[in-house]
Amino acid sequence: MPGERVLPAYGPAHGSRHKGIILIAILAFLLFAVRWLSSLAIEYAWWKELGQVETWFNLFLYQYSPLAAATLLAFAALWLTHRLGMRFGGAHQAEARLYRLAVSLVLLFVAWLISAATLENWTVVRYIGSRGLPAVASSWHDNVFGKNLGFYLFDLPFYSALLGYVLALAVVAGVLFWITARGWQLRYRMAEVRDMRELDLGLLRLPGGLESGIFRTILTLFLLALAVHFFLGRFDMVYNDHGFMVGVDYTDEHVVLPLQWLLVAAAVLAAACAWLRRWTPMLLLALALPVAWIVPRLVSALYVKPNEISLESPYIDAHIHATRSAYGLENRLREIEYKTQPGTSIDVNRHRNLLDNVRLWDWRPFHDTVTQSQALRPYYVFHDTDVDRYTIDGQLRQTLITPRELDISRLQGANASWVNPHFIYTHGYGVALAEVSKLTPEGLPVFLIQNMPPEISTPSLKITRPEIYYGEVLHEPVFVRTAQEEFNYPSGDANQKSRYDGSGGFPISSVGMRLLAAIHYADANILLTNYLTPQSRMMIRRQVLPRLQELAGFIEWDQDPYLVITPAGRLVWIADGYTTSDAHPFARLTDVGTPINYIRNSVKATIDAYDGSTRLYDMDPADPLIGAYRRLFPQLFHDVSEMPPEIRAHLRYPETLFRVQAALYRVFHMTNPQAFYNKEDIWELSRSTSGQNSTAQSATPTYVVATLPGEDKPEFMLMTTFTPFSKENLIGVMLARCDGEHLGERVVLALSKQELTLGPMQISARINQDQNISKDLTLWNQQGSQVLRGQPLVLPVEHTFLFVEPIYLQANEARMPQLKKIVLAIGNRLIYADTYDEALVQLGQGATSTAPTAISSAAPAPVTFTGTAAEDNARLARVKTHLQKYRELTAQGHYVDAAKELESIEKELNR
């Protein structure tokens, strides 16, 4: 019919296409929701397994609530600004409903951008957690503003972030108001004119002038925020890097600080002028800025630079002590003047406990040897070797321990069956443990624990649970307590089977949990398998570091966890955790992957290798950061007093922290400001050669058993050595104590600058120059073998230093090093021996001259008896008697008496 509206022919199809798109969108959302909910359920089960559901909830809350709150607040401010801009532009809300809906979504996104760019969640969370910290956690104060450490770690970062948020919001709001009002003005004006030539933009009201109260409000808020920025900028001067020092210097305190107050006053005055619509006085702020920039530079160049040492000394002193405090070098560190005495021998019997713990096995050749001799099957790996100590037969003994873990990627055909990695090959088994100073006649380690099942050669140790379900090289998920027996360890041509009998993992027996796990891992076999029973459990996050990172990601975890054996026979992992910051005033930054200027080893974590039970211990109640975290997560941390004594006995000073402290101590051992300014006494970490590398490198810190000056009892300690800048002689030794109540104490042995003590590189040079030693090394390297030099050990003993360097030999084809020679150095004397026992005999004998001596590896010349048969037989009998006594005394560790028997043998042979 005429005038009747005709629908397009494509209308229904067009509508169906829209419905299809909507349906696909709904299905995609449902799939995402199901996947998210399944992951949430698995997460809940894992956190419940650890007994940390409250911690999980708090983490979720802290991760999202600050950003959400800031976004909503910013959105409200922007929405109000936009609405006022529309009103100013002449728009009516009823005329633009669809427009307002679209704009609201855009404003919500902009609000999120502002919040995410200016506010870091953990800055806000740490500020909340720091409220009400005890005074002990804030005892440090700076000497310029009198603020405690908590102010710089928590308050100042939060205030600065909040200020950035307000400034960004004010700027965006001002721009938004101008664009909105201007845009609507143009729209309505253009709608009124019939010809563009009639449009006069000059007649439009300009938002932000005297007519706009909202624009004046935004400008006033911005200027007040700028005043706060100048006020807080005073505290930022504690981070100024002047090259020779960090922090507030003379110019900062006497010139810049007063000028900062000038800027604050100018900004406040400008804000008042903006509010009162008086624009001319605002020029004062523009004039104050160049004055605040120029004047300090003039004062510094004309007055401070010519008198820098005298004027800057108090500030350099503050920088030195702040840096030492920030890195833990101020407290629990004792510096001892160590006066060396010349000598070429020591009392071996007196220092028997010390010498019995000399580390002849460097961990690198030991690791290669263990990999060849103890892996037993290609799918077992020794990921890492760690140094520890145990009481063996009543004596402290330094040991090397490495767990035997299962690497599923090395198992041929493991992935051919879905059952193998998930039900059968689920765990590693046992450890290899050896004393560092014991060797077989072939130069191989003497194992205290070896093989499968564990063969233990001392009653001082036992292992009741050798299975390793949680370690450093493990896959996931695995299922235990199933209808399928697990592979335990190989035994000849057969395999020993086992069933899990612990509490690790979480229940996976119900159809609902199996479905959720199948969705989470995108693996339908979890739902379809018949091996799961009502008692079955699922294990995830079995690797030590990812487990701890998920549990407490706000802690910096050391990359070298180590395994210990408890007296009850359990295998337990110990990991070190650090609290770090880049906000300590006056302290020098250092790079540990990220720049920091504050670090504490405030957390020790333990993970049972069988059931995965995880506990975190607060080791430093004086650390404000761990104090804040404990308030935020009260269930997560335990007092150190709750740590079992058998675990405390194996705590050690972490190498990562020790490296950082030693690197800084090279410079910050100088506490005199003038010496520090002139860099008069910079140290370097000593260099050495080891392995096959002939290039000198900085020596790595080494765990040793040594006796401190004034002490009688050997201790397990971490040690490194220093040399003067660009020289190789020994100038200092830093030791970190690990045992008992002394854990965390550092002792520095500072040597006299007037006496020369040979350093590791100088000892290595003497070894290379010794004819007997260099001849052997050259010969071995030409016979299809490789010579490996162990890292030199430096042990303080009897007011001198004993240097020990083991020499290993390995074939080119198979990496199974054997210890072949021992080099000892004391004073200006070298001892070169086939065995450690022979070297100790020589060490106890002393030397008749200062020239280096060596025990040659060449075969001795044959001895000829020239007396009567009866005399020769009597002499031979006496030699055998002395030889038997020599062997007995050497086995008992009585090296001085053994040396006397050796002298008696020599006398009999020379008659």
Q: What is the pLDDT of residues 506-527, one digit of tens each?
A: 999 899 999 999 999 999 999 9
- Beta strands 818-826; 800-811: pairing state: antiparallel
Q: Alpha helices of 301-437 — where are they, by DSSP H? A: 308-326, 352-355, 363-374, 419
Check: pTM over 0.75? Answer yes or no: yes
| Helix pair 836-845, 895-910: axis angle to 10 deg | 80
Cα gap 185→207, rounded to integer Å? 10
- The predicted model gives 67-75 an average pLDDT of 95
- The predicted model gives 395-418 an average pLDDT of 86
Cα gap 575→551, rounded to integer Å? 13
Average pLDDT, the chain: 86
- The predicted model gives 738-748 an average pLDDT of 95
Cα gap 344→851, rounded to integer Å? 10
Last residue of a domain, one of 244, 278, 310: 310
Residue type, 837: D
- One domain for residues 839 and 893: no
- One domain for residues 752 and 895: no
Measured in whole angstroms, the distance separating CA 697 from the mean position of its chain's CA atoms is 22
pLDDT higher at 663 or 133: 663
Question: Does 500 have pLDDT greater than 80?
Answer: yes
- The predicted model gives 781-808 an average pLDDT of 87
- Proportion of the chain above pLDDT 90, given as a percent: 56
Model confidence over 205-256: pLDDT tens digits? Answer: 554 444 567 778 888 888 898 999 999 999 999 999 999 999 999 999 999 9
Please check whether residue 318 lies inside any domain of the structure.
no
Question: Does 647 have pLDDT greater than 80?
Answer: yes
- One domain for residues 523 and 599: no
pLDDT confidence of residue 848: 37
- One domain for residues 684 and 611: no
pLDDT confidence of residue 518: 94
Helix and strand counts by DSSP (H, E) for the chain: 26, 35
Cα gap 410→381, rounded to integer Å? 9
Please check whether residue 847 lies inside any domain of the structure.
yes
Residue type, 359: R
48-52, 88-92, 343-347, 616-620: least confidently modelled range = 88-92
Cβ(757)–Cβ(751) under 8 Å?
Answer: yes
In the DSSP assignment, the letter for residue 742 is: G
Question: Does 701 have pLDDT greater than 80?
Answer: yes
- The predicted model gives 176-187 an average pLDDT of 82
- One domain for residues 19 and 50: no
- One domain for residues 20 and 82: no
Please check whether residue 393 lies inside any domain of the structure.
yes
Range of the domain at 367: 357-475
- One domain for residues 214 and 66: yes
- The predicted model gives 131-148 an average pLDDT of 80
Rounded to the nearest 10°, the torsion over CA 577, 579, 581, 586 is -110
Closest CA to 810 of 828, 790, 843, 784: 784
Closest CA to 133 of 598, 628, 597: 628
Please check whether residue 275 lies inside any domain of the structure.
yes
Cα gap 613→605, rounded to integer Å? 10
- One domain for residues 108 and 218: yes
Question: Does 336 have pLDDT greater than 50?
Answer: yes
Please check whether residue 661 lies inside any domain of the structure.
no
Question: Does 277 have pLDDT greater than 80?
Answer: no
Cα gap 456→453, rounded to integer Å? 10
Question: Does 617 have pLDDT greater than 50?
Answer: yes
- The predicted model gives 885-910 an average pLDDT of 64
pLDDT confidence of residue 209: 44
pLDDT confidence of residue 7: 40
114-118, 552-556, 709-713: least confidently modelled range = 709-713
- One domain for residues 773 and 793: yes
Cβ(323)–Cβ(664) under 8 Å?
Answer: yes
The secondary structure of 548-585, three-state, reads HHHHCCCCEECCCCEEEECCCCCEEEEEEEEEEECCCC
- One domain for residues 691 and 773: yes
Question: Does 295 have pLDDT greater than 80?
Answer: yes
Residues in the chain: 911
pLDDT higher at 87 or 380: 380
Cβ(370)–Cβ(350) under 8 Å?
Answer: no
pLDDT confidence of residue 6: 42
Measured in whole angstroms, the distance separating CA 475 from the mean position of its chain's CA atoms is 23
CB neighbour list of residue 417: distance below 8 Å, 6 or more residues apart: none
pLDDT confidence of residue 205: 52
Cα gap 800→344, rounded to integer Å? 9
Last residue of a domain, one of 475, 495, 516: 475
Please check whether residue 253 lies inside any domain of the structure.
yes
- The predicted model gives 759-782 an average pLDDT of 86
pLDDT higher at 436 or 219: 436
Closest CA to 827 of 765, 732, 770, 756: 756
Question: Does 282 have pLDDT greater than 70?
Answer: no
Please check whether residue 334 lies inside any domain of the structure.
no
pLDDT confidence of residue 145: 93
Please check whether residue 336 lies inside any domain of the structure.
no
- Tokens encoding 103: 């704009």
Question: Is residue 190 very low, low, confident or very high in pLDDT (cuts 50, 70, 90)?
Answer: low
Closest CA to 368 of 688, 691, 689, 695: 691
Cα gap 80→93, rounded to integer Å? 13
Last residue of a domain, one of 816, 838, 858: 858
492: left (phi over 0), alpha (psi -120 to 50) or beta: left
Cα gap 604→564, rounded to integer Å? 14
Question: Does 861 have pLDDT greater than 50?
Answer: no
Closest CA to 428 of 327, 267, 571, 319: 571
- Tokens encoding 303: 């007055």
221-225, 503-507, 574-578, 660-664: least confidently modelled range = 221-225
34-38, 348-352, 540-544, 673-677: least confidently modelled range = 348-352
Question: Does 745 have pLDDT greater than 70?
Answer: yes
pLDDT confidence of residue 76: 96
- One domain for residues 33 and 53: no
Domains: count for the chain: 6
- The predicted model gives 143-169 an average pLDDT of 93
For the chain, the distance separating the N- and C-terminal CA atoms, rounded to the nearest angstrom, is 143
pLDDT confidence of residue 91: 74
Cβ(707)–Cβ(714) under 8 Å?
Answer: yes
344-358, 480-494, 505-519, 690-704: least confidently modelled range = 690-704
Question: Does 844 have pLDDT greater than 90?
Answer: no
Closest CA to 485 of 496, 470, 474, 473: 496
pLDDT confidence of residue 899: 58
Question: Is residue 626 very low, low, confident or very high in pLDDT (cuts 50, 70, 90)?
Answer: very high
pLDDT confidence of residue 812: 75
- One domain for residues 91 and 145: yes
- Beta strands 333-338; 746-751: pairing state: parallel
Question: Does 5 have pLDDT greater than 50?
Answer: no
Question: Does 862 have pLDDT greater than 50?
Answer: no
Cα gap 558→601, rounded to integer Å? 10
Question: Does 197 have pLDDT greater than 60?
Answer: no
Question: Does 10 have pLDDT greater than 70?
Answer: no
78-82, 281-285, 338-342, 786-790: least confidently modelled range = 281-285
In the DSSP assignment, the letter for residue 649 is: T
pLDDT confidence of residue 853: 35
**Partners of 690 in beta bridges:** 693
pLDDT confidence of residue 403: 97
- Beta strands 702-706; 715-724: pairing state: antiparallel
Closest CA to 712 of 396, 388, 459: 396
3-state secondary structure (DSSP) of residue 297: helix
Cβ(214)–Cβ(131) under 8 Å?
Answer: no
- The predicted model gives 127-147 an average pLDDT of 81
Q: Which helix (H) or strand (E) holds 248?
A: none
Query: Any long-range contacts for 155-159 (C-beta under 8 Å, 24+ apart)?
Result: 155/127, 155/130, 156/232, 156/235, 156/583, 157/123, 157/126, 157/127, 157/583, 158/123, 158/124, 158/126, 158/127, 159/232
pLDDT confidence of residue 231: 94
**Partners of 802 in beta bridges:** 795, 826
